[in-house]
Structures are given as structure tokens and as C-alpha cells.
Amino acid sequence: MHLVRNSLKYVSWKDYKAVTADLKGVYQAPTEAQARENLTALSQKWQAKYPLVAKCWEDNWANIATFFDYPNDIRKAIYTTNAVESLNSVIRRVIKKRNVFPTDDSVFKVIWLAMKDASKNGQCRFKTGNWR
């Protein structure tokens, strides 16, 4: 998701929706080969106007390629980082309330309780689909 945001900062608002749709074709492709084809199409379509968009993805392709090794449910959780960011904010909030912890175990207990409370209250709902 951060790569998508980074790519879109070079795009004007006029073309934002079209470029976003083309980028979706890359990171939501079912296979790495299909994603590579979609990236090539994106590059050909937008190279003249926004050369840095495709270059950003091509420069990071070795890291992106491993993304396609995961099942679709896990990939969706990876590229939608809201759940992770929400959980991090819950943990940060709990730790800031208590400046001093007597032991390392007390830190782990506070974090675990915060996570449990957040999931119970619906603050951090994680859709796991068919994860195993």
C-alpha cells in the first residue's frame, strides 16, 4: 500500500482514478506473471506522462514478487495496512498511559490485554478468511 501511495504522489488529480485502476491491476493480479504483464501495460500507457510511477514498481519488483507467493486473503491483509496501523495505535496508546513497567512480562501482559480488549470492542477487527 505504501508503494501505491508513493506512486500516486506523482500523478495529477485528473488522472488519479485511471492510474489507480491500472495499479490495482498490478497488485491484485492472481499471479506474478499476470502482475508483470499488467505492470508492462501500465508502463506503456503512462510512461510518457508519469515515468516515475512504473519505475518505482520496477525498481522494487524483487520485493513485490514475493507478495504473490501468499494466498489472496493474506495478500489483502498485507496491502490494506489499516488493521496493522490500528493495532499499533492501540498498543501505543496503552504504553503511553503507563510510563514505567516493573518487568518485561508486565509490558507483554499490558499489550496482550489491550489487543484482547480492542478486538472485543470492535476497535481492531481482523478478517482472517480461510487462514490456517
When pLDDT is averaged across residues 63-85 and rounded to a whole number, the result is 78
Reading the block at residue 52, the C-alpha cell is 516515475
87 and 113 inside one domain: yes
> How does residue 102 score in pLDDT terms, banded at 50, 70 and 90?
very high
Reading the block at residue 64, the C-alpha cell is 513485490
- Please report the pLDDT score of residue 128 as a whole number: 47
Distance CA 45, CA 22 (A): 9
- Contact between 53 and 10 under an 8 Å Cβ cutoff? The reply is yes
Distance CA 14, CA 49 (A): 12
Structural domain contains residue 106: yes
58 and 35 inside one domain: yes
Other beta carbons within 10 angstroms of residue 34's beta carbon come to: 14
Distance CA 14, CA 18 (A): 9
Structural domain contains residue 98: yes
pLDDT in tens, 13-49: 999 999 999 999 998 898 999 999 999 999 999 999 9
Please tell me what DSSP assigns to residue 13. T
Please give the residue that has the higher pLDDT: either 103 or 130.
Answer: 103
- Please report the pLDDT score of residue 2 as a whole number: 76
Q: Give the number of domains in the chain.
A: 2
Summary mean pLDDT of the chain: 84
47 and 61 inside one domain: yes
Containing structural domain, residue 58: 2-79
Structural domain contains residue 127: no
Distance CA 107, CA 110 (A): 5
> How does residue 80 score in pLDDT terms, banded at 50, 70 and 90?
low
- Please report the pLDDT score of residue 122 as a whole number: 62
Structural domain contains residue 31: yes
